[in-house]
Chain A
Amino acid sequence: MFEMWKMFGLSLARAALPLLPAAAARAVKLGLVFIDAGTQARAELQAVCDMLDRGATDAEVDALMSQHGVNTDAIEAARARVEVLP
């Protein structure tokens, strides 16, 4: 039920974006990203819990943080984008 209301709220917020002043729209966009990221993080953490419950194999340990390099590059790229701003 909570998921249904959440999806409805998110759709409403996305639909309202063009109606908002620019600064408010940017804040809403970031807020929506936070909510998406929170949902994804919970799913990732649940996968880790499941892994621990069944006993993580060496291969699973190897696979942990498989996106680390990609994520590091992405964060550095975002940093480079804002560092050149006046």
Chain B
Amino acid sequence: MKRFTSLMSCLAVMLSACAVNPFDHATTPDGYAIAAVGSYDAAESAAVKAVNQAAENAEEASAQGAKDEADAYKAFVLAVSNAQRIAGPIAEATKQAIKDYRAGIVSGDALTAQADALKSATDDLKSATEKQ
């Protein structure tokens, strides 16, 4: 079973590896930040589906007395949730920073730094989601 889940993880990684990259389409600081917010949004949507199924699996496994299996799914849900708790507020702040940049309140460098922080947090979220 473990081998099978590893195979599925490989598949998921393979699918995400051939995903389109919005950062290739960004030519300005706000474009770069929009790419970061869009990437986070897509990662969050994927995470929701994965944790819902994992929570269901954990409940089923627990009800059947398969404690190790239930614990594995539980650890997965907690890891994704922890990563989302960190990345979510950074994404909100980046979205606001895009508006502030467009209003002339925030510099391009500051916006890029904010987007880089989000990019890193999104990578952590994706990594947590793919680790099952």
Q: Does B associate with A?
A: yes
Q: Which residues of A contact B9 (CB under 8 A)?
A: 34
The reply to whether B91 and A68 form a contact with Cβ atoms under 8 Å apart is yes
Q: Is residue B127 contacting chain A, with contact meaning CB distance below 8 A? A: no
Q: Is residue B111 contacting chain A, with contact meaning CB distance below 8 A? A: no
The reply to whether B62 and A85 form a contact with Cβ atoms under 8 Å apart is yes
**Majority SS of interface residues in chain B?**
helix
The reply to whether B53 and A33 form a contact with Cβ atoms under 8 Å apart is yes
> Closest CB-CB distance, A33 to chain B, in whole Å?
4
Q: In the docked arrangement, what's the CA distance between A53 and B75, Å?
A: 39
The reply to whether B53 and A42 form a contact with Cβ atoms under 8 Å apart is no
The reply to whether A37 and B49 form a contact with Cβ atoms under 8 Å apart is yes
Which residues of B are at the interface with A, using a C-beta cutoff of 8 A? Answer: 1, 4-5, 7-9, 11-12, 15-16, 18-22, 24-26, 30-31, 34-35, 37-62, 64, 66-67, 69-70, 73-74, 77-78, 80-81, 84, 88, 91-92, 95, 98-99, 102, 132
List 7 tightest A-B contacts by C-beta distance, closest first.
A48-B38, A31-B8, A38-B15, A37-B46, A34-B12, A52-B25, A78-B51
Which residues of A are at the interface with B, using a C-beta cutoff of 8 A? Answer: 22-24, 26-31, 33-42, 44-49, 51-53, 56, 58, 61, 64-65, 67-68, 71-72, 74-76, 78-79, 81-83, 85-86
- 17 A-B pairs besides A26-B69, A78-B55, A82-B74 with CB distance below 8 A are A26-B60, A27-B57, A41-B43, A45-B38, A48-B34, A48-B35, A48-B39, A52-B35, A56-B30, A56-B31, A64-B38, A64-B41, A64-B95, A68-B44, A75-B80, A78-B77, A81-B55
